[in-house]
């Protein structure tokens, strides 16, 4: 799907006045040049913090039997502290979804621990991020927009996937969340966790 960069109303006015407003004077030009630009959609908005595995809070672990993986879910501590039941998740919530393979037995089925849960092999196999920041949703069409959430995918080493740098490359994330979780601020496990915690 072709995408045209969106320039917000403020940005358009700034560009117009800078181009044709020679009579405004240097001070006005400088003030206009400093006006905030509209957010541009896309996964490049999200940076994966280097310390997410040590600083973020792991709030859920999910065995995915169909894929024989274990999904570990983390959230930044600031959002963890600020989230309240019944309220939209806080601005700047950053959720990390990290997948590891389940350790398999000779029969090809996942081995289970004493609690009946999958046992993870240590290496990460995939990392995906969901982040919310005010204004990020403004550049998306209504059929995509997940409020102000953005999505991104990274290699296990923490570098951005070269194939996941455009909005189209993470469209499946938007589609899944908008179809199943619009009433839960477009979030899955962390929303559910917040609603039930005391």
What average pLDDT does the segment 150-171 reach?
96
* Separation between Cα atoms, residue 197 and residue 126, nearest integer Å: 28
Return the H-helix or E-strand segment holding 98: strand 94-102
Q: Where are the domains of the chain?
A: 1-38, 40-196
In three-state secondary structure terms, 20 is: helix
Q: Give the pLDDT band of residue 40 (cuts 50, 70, 90).
A: confident
When mean pLDDT is compared across 9-13, 55-59, 141-145, the lowest value belongs to: 9-13
Provide long-range contacts, Cβ within 8 A and 24+ apart, for 174-180: 174/140, 174/144, 174/145, 174/146, 175/144, 177/130, 177/146, 177/149, 178/143, 178/144, 178/145, 178/146
pLDDT at position 197, please? 83
Residue 7 has pLDDT above 90, yes or no: no
Q: What is the pTM of this model?
A: 0.79
Quote the CA–CA distance of 96 and 126 in Å, as a whole number: 10
Provide mean pLDDT across the span 84-109.
97
CATH number of 40-196: 3.50.70
Residue 24 pLDDT exceeds 80: no
Which has more confidence, 60 or 19? Answer: 60
Q: Which two tokens stand for residue 101?
A: 């393979």
Residue 31: the pLDDT is 34
Q: What tokens were used for 105?
A: 């037995």
């Amino acid at each position: 799907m072709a995408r045209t960069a969106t320039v917000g109303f403020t940005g358009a006015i700034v560009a117009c006045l800078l181009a044709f407003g020679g009579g405004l004077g240097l001070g006005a030009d400088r003030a206009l040049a400093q006006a905030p630009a509209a957010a541009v959609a896309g996964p490049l908005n999200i940076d994966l913090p280097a310390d997410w595995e040590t600083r973020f809070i792991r709030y859920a672990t999910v065995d995915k039997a169909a894929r024989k993986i274990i999904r570990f879910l983390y959230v930044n501590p600031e959002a963890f502290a600020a989230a309240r039941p019944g309220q939209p998740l806080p601005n700047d919530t950053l959720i990390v979804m990290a997948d590891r393979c389940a350790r398999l037995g000779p029969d090809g089925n996942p081995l289970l621990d004493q609690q009946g849960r999958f046992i993870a092999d240590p290496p990460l196999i995939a990392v995906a991020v969901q982040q919310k920041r005010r204004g990020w949703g403004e550049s998306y069409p209504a059929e995509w927009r997940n409020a102000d959430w953005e999505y991104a995918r990274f290699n296990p080493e923490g570098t951005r996937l070269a194939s996941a740098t455009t909005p189209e490359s993470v469209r499946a994330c938007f589609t899944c969340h908008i179809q199943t979780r619009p009433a839960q601020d477009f979030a899955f496990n962390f929303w559910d966790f917040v609603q039930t915690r005391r």
